[in-house]
Amino acid sequence: MLRLHQRENLDVIAGDHRGFIPCGGQEPSFRVKRLLLGVGGVVLLWGLVAGCSRPAAQARFADFTYAQVLEHFEYYHERSEAEYRGDGTWTNVEYGIEHPLVRDASRRAQGYMSAWSLERNPVYEARARAALDWLVRDQKPDGHFTWWNTPAGTDNRVDCQYTTAEGGAALAEGYATFGDARYLAASARAAEWEADCDLVWNTNYVMFAVWHLAKHYRITGEQRWLDEAVFRVVHCALPRQTADGSWKEGADAPPELVGHNQRIWYHAIILRGLIEVYRVLPADHPVRGRLLQSIEAGVRRAIELQRCSGEIPVEMNTKPAPPDSASAERHNTHRNAFILEALLLAHVHAGIETRDAIRGIMQYRLAAVSQLPPQEVVNIDVQAVGYLLQCYRQLSAESPGLKASGPGR
């Protein structure tokens, strides 16, 4: 287990703010697939947890139980049921149109599969299977998924990198969970479509594809999918990472969207993709060491912003969010779901000590959950909290303060 920082018996991150600077340079042509490896520089950064008057190394968040996580998941399940349409889809709350969103189905499918793996609740299984079946039906013949943000939908090779990866990732996990060959075939069609896409300006879109490609490789063992994922890591994520561990956009980003990927949910999406690749890279792969440095820097950047409440603010540069922004309405619990999932993955699959930060996020979420507005979007909450349920046994075995509860735990 790699520990970024230890202080006596307190397992925390952020006392040591070392940020890795990946080598820069021009982004290569998409078709020139030569891995340009470089050595990252190291810069020492010191700071305090955002919003705290004490150093991060002195922060210690309260432990939580399995029963609390399960209750938290069931809260979001109940909220989700109010939007369920009975056919594997949920009301498109975000855009107010008739056609369901791919991410509403894909995120819930993954969360329900995680929860079902432990609880064996037949409703969780039914929702997951219905969502996966709908994704198979909604997929376009060429393998991509439409972004249903308008009645006509958006179909292109920029925005649909994210929607296609959302659908593909759920289907890959669906095959791993239920063994339905239709899910694997649909995931393969999505991967084929993603492999023919360029490295677009929006870094998190590319890393959505990386997340799915690495999952598909993990399940099939087909080397080409790992190669596609690694190519995108080396030529997109690594050169676009900044000295503070966050990620910037490509050079052709619209001026009004510069800084877009520094928001915590996009930061977490990028991290999640990198960790999924790291999880499956052979131990002797030439990119593995540099990739771990990048993941460590991204984790440190998120945790150095964690407040004493446990919240990790939406804006990574600590600027307040605009009053009419989603985060102002949502008390940021929805947005903290992405980084919760990324920190879980970092601990479980990259060996990075993130448990205290996870405790902090849960402290914040449990305190804020009763304040959520009626129309809160809960798709990623179902996914992230479901994954926390799945990881809890490992976390509790490692941390004496986390007590498992419930039958067999």
Rg for the chain, CA atoms, rounded: 20
pLDDT band at 29 (very low <50, low <70, confident <90, very high): very low
pLDDT more than 90, % of the chain = 71
Q: Alpha carbon 119 to chain centroid distance?
A: 23
Report strand pairing: 18-21 vs 10-11: unpaired
Rounded-to-integer distance, Cα 72 and Cα 385, Å: 7
% helix / strand / coil in the chain, to the nearest 5? 55, 5, 40
Q: Average pLDDT of 182-187?
A: 98
Taking alpha carbons only, the member of 169, 149, 168, 173 closest to residue 159 is: 149
The pLDDT, as a whole number, for residue 368 is 82
Residue 86: left if φ>0, alpha if ψ -120 to 50, beta else—which one?
left
Q: State yes or no: pLDDT of 376 exceeds 80.
A: no
- Model pLDDT, residue 6: 27
- How many CA atoms lie less than 13 Å away from 280 in the CB half-sphere? 24
pTM: 0.83
Which comes out higher in pLDDT, residue 213 or 331?
Answer: 213
Dihedral of alpha carbons 335, 341, 346, 347, sign: positive
DSSP states of 286-347: TTHHHHHHHHHHHHHHHHHT--TTS---SBTT-PPPPTTSHHHHHTTHHHHHHHHHHHHHHH
Higher pLDDT, 163 or 51: 163
| Per-residue pLDDT at 388 exceeds 90 | yes
Q: Other C-beta atoms within 10 Å of 348: how many?
A: 17
Is pLDDT at 51 greater than 80 in this prediction? Answer: no
Residue 32 has pLDDT above 50, yes or no: no
Which amino acid is residue 304, in one-letter code?
Answer: E
Band of residue 316 on the pLDDT scale cut at 50, 70, 90: low
pLDDT class for 323, splitting at 50, 70, 90? Answer: very low
pLDDT at 395: 83
Contact 405, 64 (CB under 8 A): no
335 band by pLDDT with thresholds 50, 70 and 90: low
Residue-wise pLDDT tens digits, 234-269: 999 999 999 999 999 999 999 999 999 999 999 999
Handedness of CA 250, 281, 299, 327 (dihedral sign): positive
pLDDT tens-digit map of 356-374 = 999 999 999 998 876 776 6
Q: Average the pLDDT over each of 131-140, 179-188, 300-309, 334-343 and give the range with the smallest value.
A: 334-343
When mean pLDDT is compared across 149-163, 305-319, 394-408, the lowest value belongs to 394-408
Q: Distances in Å between the alpha carbon of 294 and those of 361, 385, 393?
A: 22, 25, 27
Spatial neighbors of 26 by CB under 8 A, at least 6 apart, are: none
Is residue 341 scored above 70 in pLDDT? yes
236: DSSP letter? I
When comparing pLDDT for 17 and 208, which is higher?
208
pLDDT for 284 equals 97
Buried b (16+ CB within 10 A) or exposed e, 154-185: eeeeebbbbbbbbbbbbbbbbbebeebeebbe
Q: What pLDDT score does 315 carry? A: 73
CA distances for 265 relative to 141, 282, 338, angstroms: 30, 28, 5
Q: What does the pLDDT read at residue 363?
A: 93
Q: 87 or 395: whose pLDDT is higher?
A: 87
